[in-house]
């Protein structure tokens, strides 16, 4: 029998122990440094450079509250992926200053798996750090959104831009939770953008299976950052929250997500919204992390009927549901701006008026 030396095994175990102790987990490797796997990388905690302009947000009953226990209803918008904005030459503090001037109090940052895979997690964190620094200075809160669409259980996703794995998804949130621990600006972790089985085209996944996966992911997040607020979406592209009535996520301190675009229901929508997701707000915090409309285009799900805008903001106001408009970009649809002079589109002008208190609620 050939003798096997134990020295390489000992050395490997020693290096793994060093790596785990340096960050509390196995290091997250970008493509450029996978060849140097024996060097522990370690993602260092974010270091705030400015005075704290916002306090921690937490969950109390069915509400989001500040450090004094005051209820906060968030009204904001989603930017496009920082990787896209960087490549467009539009990634700057000015972008966030314009958002602040419009009157928003929260910004959603959609992180596409493909952009992290191509850029590498370390370089991507540099972009996020800039967003956090600018937002700290401006008094804005942030949602970090893992922007994938499809069935995470089967790993059948809507396109290459959304392709990810359960392991990568869990690893991403490990990194985010550890890096932004004790950073109140990064208030919300939207764990998965739009779950859907697409009539079986992406395989199967029951609410029970999704619930268990999200609970496990929340446990991982809380192991690193107990002050984060994980956000959980339902099926049908984050629209259907009906299973929550009988089988809510069995974790404290979370919120639920809905994406109620106009094409999801016909007029009158309010009674159907009550059944599909509105009832959740009677017991748990709820935030619509995507909504919006456009006057023309190929996607009928987004078409404005001149009723949707006022009805959705009135509905949210009555039920104290937080909301975030999609999307503050002149290319991605439905656009809030026509160009990089920040000229608002029809939906941009409408929601800007709401942000600035010019809309009269019913």
Q: What is the pLDDT of residues 71-82, one digit of tens each?
A: 999 999 999 999
Q: How many CB atoms lie within 10 A of CB 111?
A: 22
Q: How many domains does the chain have?
A: 1
Which tens digits make up the pLDDT trace of 318-355? 999 999 999 999 999 999 999 999 999 999 999 999 99
Assigned domain for 361 exists? no
Which of 38-47, 226-235, 269-278 comes out lowest in average pLDDT? 38-47
Angle (nearest 5°) at CA 298 between 118 and 78: 50
Residue 145 clears pLDDT 80, i.e. is over it: yes
Residue 248 clears pLDDT 50, i.e. is over it: yes
Assigned domain for 299 exists? yes
Crossing angle of helices 308-319/346-355, nearest 10°? 30
* CA dist., res. 361 & res. 44, Å (int): 45
Mean pLDDT across the chain: 91
* Centroid of chain to Cα 350: 23
Which among 106, 161, 111, 122 is positioned nearest to 34, based on CA atoms? 122
Region 276-288: mean pLDDT is 98
Region 13-37: mean pLDDT is 44
* CA dist., res. 300 & res. 149, Å (int): 19
Residue 5 clears pLDDT 50, i.e. is over it: no
Confidence category of residue 47, pLDDT binned at 50, 70, 90: confident
Q: Is the dihedral of CA 21, 26, 27, 33 positive or negative?
A: positive
Residue 35 has a pLDDT of 60
Residue 26 clears pLDDT 70, i.e. is over it: no
Assigned domain for 192 exists? yes
Residue 44 has a pLDDT of 84
Residue 19 has a pLDDT of 38
Assigned domain for 350 exists? yes
Assigned domain for 15 exists? no
Assigned domain for 312 exists? yes
Peptide bond into 356 cis (omega under 30): no
Residues 6 or more apart from 45 whose CB is under 8 A from it?
178, 179, 180, 181, 182
CATH at residue 154: 3.20.20.80
Residue 33 clears pLDDT 60, i.e. is over it: no
Assigned domain for 32 exists? no
Residues of the chain with pLDDT > 70: what percent? Answer: 88
* CA dist., res. 254 & res. 60, Å (int): 10
Region 6-24: mean pLDDT is 39
Residue 297 has a pLDDT of 85
Residue 48 has a pLDDT of 75
Q: How many CB atoms lie within 10 A of CB 200?
A: 8
Confidence category of residue 50, pLDDT binned at 50, 70, 90: low
Residue 284 clears pLDDT 60, i.e. is over it: yes
Residue 53 has a pLDDT of 81
Helical H segments across 24-159, by residue range: 82-88, 93-102, 113-119, 121-138
Residue 27 has a pLDDT of 39
Residue 238 clears pLDDT 90, i.e. is over it: yes
Which of 6-10, 28-32, 105-109 comes out lowest in average pLDDT? 6-10
Please identify which residue in the block is written with the tokens 């008026």.
Answer: 353
Residue 12 has a pLDDT of 41
Residues 6 or more apart from 17 whose CB is under 8 A from it?
none
More confident residue, 57 or 8: 57
Which among 175, 165, 181, 40 is positioned nearest to 121, based on CA atoms? 175
Residue 360 clears pLDDT 70, i.e. is over it: yes
Residue 11 has a pLDDT of 38
Assigned domain for 95 exists? yes
295-304 CB contacts, 8 Å cutoff, 24+ apart = 295/346, 297/333, 297/334, 299/263, 299/333, 300/263, 301/261, 301/262, 301/263, 301/264, 302/261, 302/262, 302/263, 302/333, 302/334, 303/262, 303/263, 304/262, 304/346, 304/347
SS3 151: strand
* CA dist., res. 37 & res. 4, Å (int): 23
Residue 32 clears pLDDT 70, i.e. is over it: no
Q: What is the SS3 assignment for 217-238?
A: HHHHHHHHCCCCEEEEECHHHH
- Residue 92 domain boundaries: 58-356
């Amino acid at each position: 029998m050939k003798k096997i030396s134990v020295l390489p095994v000992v050395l490997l175990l020693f290096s793994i122990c060093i790596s785990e102790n340096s960050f509390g987990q196995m290091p997250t490797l970008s493509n450029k440094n996978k060849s140097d796997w024996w060097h522990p990388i370690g993602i260092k905690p974010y270091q705030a450079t400015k005075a704290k302009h916002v306090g921690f947000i937490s969950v109390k009953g069915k509400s989001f509250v500040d450090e004094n226990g005051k209820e906060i209803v968030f009204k904001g918008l989603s930017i496009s992926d920082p990787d896209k904005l960087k490549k467009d030459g539009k990634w700057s503090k000015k972008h966030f200053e314009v958002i602040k001037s419009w009157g928003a109090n929260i910004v959603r940052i959609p992180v596409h798996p493909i952009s992290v895979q191509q850029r590498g997690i370390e370089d991507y964190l540099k972009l996020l750090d800039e967003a956090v620094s600018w937002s700290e200075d401006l008094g804005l809160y942030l949602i970090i959104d893992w922007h994938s669409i499809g069935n995470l259980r089967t790993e059948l996703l809507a396109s290459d831009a959304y392709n990810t794995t359960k392991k990568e998804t869990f690893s991403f949130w490990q990194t985010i939770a550890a890096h932004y621990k004790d950073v109140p600006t990064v208030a919300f972790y939207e764990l998965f953008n739009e779950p859907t089985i697409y009539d079986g085209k992406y395989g199967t996944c029951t609410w029970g299976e999704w619930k268990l996966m999200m609970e496990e992911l929340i446990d991982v997040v809380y192991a690193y950052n107990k002050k984060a607020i994980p956000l959980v979406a339902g099926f049908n592209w984050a629209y259907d929250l009906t299973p929550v009535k009988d089988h809510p996520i069995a974790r404290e301190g979370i919120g639920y997500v809905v994406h109620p675009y106009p094409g999801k229901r016909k007029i009158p929508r309010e009674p159907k919204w009550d059944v599909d997701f509105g009832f959740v707000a009677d017991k748990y915090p709820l935030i619509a992390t995507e909504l919006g409309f456009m006057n023309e285009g190929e996607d009928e799900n987004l078409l404005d009927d001149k009723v949707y805008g006022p009805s959705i903001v009135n509905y949210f106001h009555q039920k104290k549901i937080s909301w975030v408009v999609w999307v503050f970009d002149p290319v991605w649809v439905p656009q809030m701006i026509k160009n990089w002079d920040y000229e608002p589109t029809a939906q941009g002008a409408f929601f800007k008026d709401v942000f600035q208190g010019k809309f009269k609620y019913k």
